[in-house]
Each structure stands twice: as structure tokens, then as C-alpha cells.
Amino acid sequence: MSTSRDPALPHLDALTGVHSRAAFLERLGGEIDAARSGGSRLALIVADVDQFRDVNFSVGHTVGDEVLRHVARRIAAVARPADTVARIGSDEFALVLPGILSKDHAVLAGQRIMEELDTPFDPKGGLSLSVSLGIALLTEHKCAADDLLRLAEGALFEAKRRHSGMEVADEQAGSAPGAHFAYERELRRAIEDNLLELLFQPKVDLRSGVVCGAEALVRWPHPELGLIEPDRFIPIIEHSEVIHPLTIWALNVALRNCAGWSAAGIGVDVAVNLSTRNLQDPDLPELVQRALETWRVPPQRLSLEITETAVMDDRPRVIETLYRLRGLGISLSIDDFGSGFSSLAYLRRLPVSELKIDRQFICAMGGGRDDRLIVQAIVQLARSFGLKVTAEGVEDERSLAALRELDCDMGQGYLLGRPVSSEEFARRLAQGAG
């Protein structure tokens, strides 16, 4: 089972020790190339912990982290030496199975994962876990890594919708109506009917303790699946046309609320996330400018957050779009920094003003010297480039104290403030709370 660190894949998930999402995508791409050249088959299993959000709220994040480590160990126990295990979302894991002989072998691996987790687990006793699985099969070698992941995520969605535990898709489903297309249709309908929610998580100045901004976070209250967080549905739709109306909706709702806060005497910035596909849209700067004008929000109040992966794709077009966005007067931030593979030479060319340290490094700071050194190195890197630096995932006092010692500028996390509605965010700021 492949989880060890090697020069080509330096990034492991700090909490669980298995591969991170970025390293997983790199490995998956390599396995697909190998299957294509060797004429073999490959399967991808995506596993999601059922009701994990309820676990966090009922027993706390410390136990929640133990649950995630337990799930990673159980999936690794099923894996063969050639397989790759990764954590690709907050409570979502992936298992790459190269060289499988048939669909039945992938289904058998999925059943073993479910059996491994079908026992009560809780450091204090009494917590039952279950997972839902989506399996994607590579048979004709036409898929890229992102496409195969999208198929697996679509199958996972279908498993949750049907309460079946496990569903299987193959790459041929990409050319016919499949589970992920049903997912896209439902999300488009939710956007059109204004059924999504936009929450706001405070961004705090670590020196003064003052709330200086808010990140807008979309949530999907699904009638059957409950509240779906973005790391569950964005990977499925970020390469489809649905990402455009979703981004425009989020941008306009965020700016509308920012304007409302300003009218109430609350002057804070708002940040909105962009996907890779957004950055490849030549009309994006005009759409952003139109939204700013519609809601009469000064461009300095808006920050757009992009991931390392997004800025590494289609570089000339992305750089041109970023400079046009920066020319509007808005600020640009690289989100989840440290989880991707961007080069420093490329980073210097980008018109960004902020780095946001991936939460996995912040959560692991108390576990060893290496993780603190990584955070320190990112802070120093930001300083050398003249950038602000924000730490994500600040969830305990020890991490907060360490970040202040390292002179990190800003922080986000449950310790500093949970995502809340616009009204609750304004109420807390008016009362002087984070």
C-alpha cells in the first residue's frame, strides 16, 4: 500500500499520514498512464464517512480527528502494496486500485472497506461508523485523473441518494446520463430556485484580535442528503458548466451582504472562492466588475481565492485573467497553500497579495517540530514576496499561540469563529464578538 513519502510526491495528509489530494491526483494520473500503456484496468474508490458533521458537533473535533485517522487506517488495511490511499476532502478518502481484473474485484475491495468500518469506534466507546462508496472503473483508458474522480464522486452521490452504501460507474458513463449528471442537474435547479446558503467565516487579525474580513462558504441543504459542504460537490461540478452560475450566485450574494454590512457601519472585506474553470473564462473580469458596480462595493473590499492547482493549469490564460482581475483593484489570494506543487518561480509572477496556509499544517503543528517548521517557512516565504499570510484551521489555543509567535498575519478556524449566516455575522461584529 503506497503512503510513503517520495521525491515526486512530497505531500502527505498531516492528520492521517496518507496521501493528500494533490499527491493523489498526481499518482492517479500516473497510474492511468501506466494502465493505458499496459492495456490493464484500474479502479478508483471514493469513501465518505456518513454523518461526519454530526460526529464533530456531538463529540468535538478532537474525537473527529481520531475518527478520520481510524478510517484512514482501516482503508489502508484493505489496500494492497501497489494501491494508493489518500484523504481528498475533510471526511472523504480515496483508494486507487491498479491492475484489477474485473468490476467484481473493485466491488469486493469496497465491501471489505465497509466491513472494516462496520464495528463501533470511539476512543470513549459507543460510536458507530459507516461509509458510503463510489467506485469508478477505467476500462477504455479515455479518462484523465479529474474525469475518473468526477465519475467516482458521482457514484458516491448516487450511493448516498439511494442509501445503497455503494454504487459503481465506468468511464463509458461519461458519455451518457449518469449519476454525476443528475448531481449537476439538481445543483443547477438549487441555484435557480435560490435554495443554496452562503455562510461567512470570520478572518481575524492575529495581532489585534479584530475581525478584518469574512470568507464566503457555500452550503447546499439537500432535501435527501442533508447539508452538503462544498468539498463534497465542487469536485464533481468544477469542470462542468454549472460552476459558472454557482460562482456568479456566490459572488453576488457575498457582495450584496458586504454592502449591507457597510451600510450598518461594519466595514470588513469579503472573500469568494474561484475554481480552475472560472479562471479559464475570459469574461470573468467583466462579470466581477459588473457585480461590484451592481452592489456598489469598492473593489478593495473583495478578495478572490484561488488554489495552487488552479493557477498551475493553462498558465498563459490564467495569468492574463489574474492580472485583469487585479487591475480592477481587488486582491487575490492563493488558498490551501502548501498542498499543491506550484514552483516559487511561477509564484513570483502572480499578482497575488496573500497566501493562505493549508489547514492540515496548522492542525498538525502540535504534533511535531516538522509541521511548525513548514508553517514558519511559508510565513517567511510570504514575507520575502511582500505578501500577507493567513492560517486556516485554527482550532486550539496552542496553534493560535504558535502562529502569533511566528508573526502570522491573520487566521481562520473554529477557535476564531465558525461559519455563520450573514445576519449572525453582522450581529456578532456589532456586539464586538468574533
pLDDT (tens digit, 9 = 90+) per residue, 328-340?
A: 999 999 988 876 5
Confidence of residue 179 (pLDDT cuts 50, 70, 90): low
User: Would you say residue 409 has pLDDT above 60?
Assistant: yes
Tell me how far the alpha carbon of residue 349 is from its chain's centroid: 24
Can you tell me the distance from the alpha carbon of 227 to that of 221, in angstroms, rounded to the nearest whole number?
Answer: 4
Q: At what angle do helices 284-295 and 243-263 cross, to 10 degrees?
A: 30
Confidence of residue 199 (pLDDT cuts 50, 70, 90): very high
Can you tell me the distance from the alpha carbon of 119 to that of 96, in angstroms, rounded to the nearest whole number?
Answer: 24
Predicted confidence at residue 240, as pLDDT, reads: 73
Of 15-19, 277-281, 282-286, 289-293, which one has max mean pLDDT?
A: 289-293
Burial class of residue 139 (count of CB atoms within 10 Å of its CB; 0-12, 13-18, 19+): middle
Can you tell me the distance from the alpha carbon of 208 to that of 396, in angstroms, rounded to the nearest whole number?
Answer: 18
For range 400-416, the mean pLDDT: 94
Can you tell me the distance from the alpha carbon of 129 to that of 265, in angstroms, rounded to the nearest whole number?
Answer: 46
| CATH number, domain 184-430, options 3.40.50.720, 3.20.20.450, 4.10.80.40, 3.20.20.60 | 3.20.20.450
Predicted confidence at residue 151, as pLDDT, reads: 85
For range 298-324, the mean pLDDT: 84
User: Would you say residue 19 has pLDDT above 60?
Assistant: yes
Predicted confidence at residue 144, as pLDDT, reads: 82
Can you tell me the distance from the alpha carbon of 429 to that of 418, in angstroms, rounded to the nearest whole number?
Answer: 13
| Mean pLDDT for all residues in the chain | 85
Can you tell me the distance from the alpha carbon of 88 to that of 235, in angstroms, rounded to the nearest whole number?
Answer: 10
Structure confidence by residue, pLDDT tens digits, 370-406: 778 889 999 999 999 999 999 999 988 989 999 999 9
Contact 190, 237 (CB under 8 A): no
For range 73-82, the mean pLDDT: 92
> Mapped to the 3 state alphabet, what secondary structure does 17-74 carry?
CCECHHHHHHHHHHHHHHHHHHCCEEEEEEEEECCHHHHHHHHCHHHHHHHHHHHHHH
User: Would you say residue 82 has pLDDT above 50?
Assistant: yes
The β-bridge relationship of strands 269-273 and 302-307 is parallel
Domain ranges of the chain: 21-176, 184-430
- Any alpha helices (H) in 89-242, and if so which ranges? 103-116, 145-162, 179-192, 230-237
Predicted confidence at residue 72, as pLDDT, reads: 94
| CATH number, domain 21-176, options 3.30.70.270, 3.40.1160.10, 3.90.170.10, 3.40.50.720 | 3.30.70.270
What does residue 2 show for φ and ψ, rounded to 5 degrees?
Answer: -90, 110
Confidence of residue 8 (pLDDT cuts 50, 70, 90): very low
pTM of the predicted structure, to 2 decimals: 0.70
Least confident of 85-89, 170-174, 267-271, 292-296: 170-174
Contact 350, 382 (CB under 8 A): no
Best CA proximity match to 87, nearest among 55, 46, 54: 46
Report percent pLDDT > 90 for the chain.
45
For range 198-207, the mean pLDDT: 96
For range 236-264, the mean pLDDT: 90
